[in-house]
Amino acid sequence: MSKKEKNIKVEGEELGLNNEEKTQNETETQAEETNEEEATVEEVDPLTAAQTEAEQWKDKYIRLAAEFDNYKKRTLKEKSELILNGSEKSISAILPILDDFERATADKTEDPQAIKEGYELIFKKFLKTLENLGVKKIETDDADFNVDYHEAIAMVPGMGDDKKGKVIDCVQTGYTLNDKVIRHAKVAVGQ
Instruction: Read off the pLDDT of residues 61-90 as tens digits, 9 standing for 90 and up.
Output: 999 999 999 999 999 999 998 888 878 888
Q: What percent of the chain has pLDDT over 90?
A: 52
Question: Quick one: 81 and 102 in the same domain?
Answer: no
Is 40 contained in some domain?
A: no
Is 39 contained in some domain?
A: no
Confidence of residue 164 (pLDDT cuts 50, 70, 90): confident
Query: What range does the domain containing 73 cover?
Result: 46-86
Is 169 contained in some domain?
A: yes
- Rounded to an integer, what distance in angstroms lies between the CA atom of residue 167 and that of residue 170? 7
Which 3-state string (H, E, C) describes the chain? Answer: CCCCEEEEEECCEEEEEEHHHHHHHHHHHHHHHHHHHHHHHHHCCHHHHHHHHHHHHHHHHHHHHHHHHHHHHHHHHHHHHHHHHCCHHHHHHHHHHHHHHHHHHHCCCCCHHHHHHHHHHHHHHHHHHHHHCCEEECCCCCCECCCCCEEEEEEECCCCHHHCCEEEEEEECCEEECCEEEECEEEEEEC
pLDDT above 90 for 31: no
Question: Quick one: 144 and 181 in the same domain?
Answer: yes
Residues 107-148 have pLDDT tens digits of 888 899 999 999 999 999 999 999 999 999 999 988 889 999
Question: Quick one: 112 and 129 in the same domain?
Answer: yes
Is 119 contained in some domain?
A: yes
pLDDT above 90 for 56: yes
Question: Quick one: 76 and 93 in the same domain?
Answer: no
Question: Quick one: 127 and 138 in the same domain?
Answer: no
Question: Quick one: 111 and 154 in the same domain?
Answer: no
Is 106 contained in some domain?
A: yes
The domain total for the chain is: 3
- Rounded to an integer, what distance in angstroms lies between the CA atom of residue 175 and that of residue 98? 21
Mean pLDDT of the chain: 83
> pTM of the predicted model, to two decimals?
0.56
Question: Quick one: 188 and 159 in the same domain?
Answer: yes
Question: Quick one: 140 and 191 in the same domain?
Answer: yes
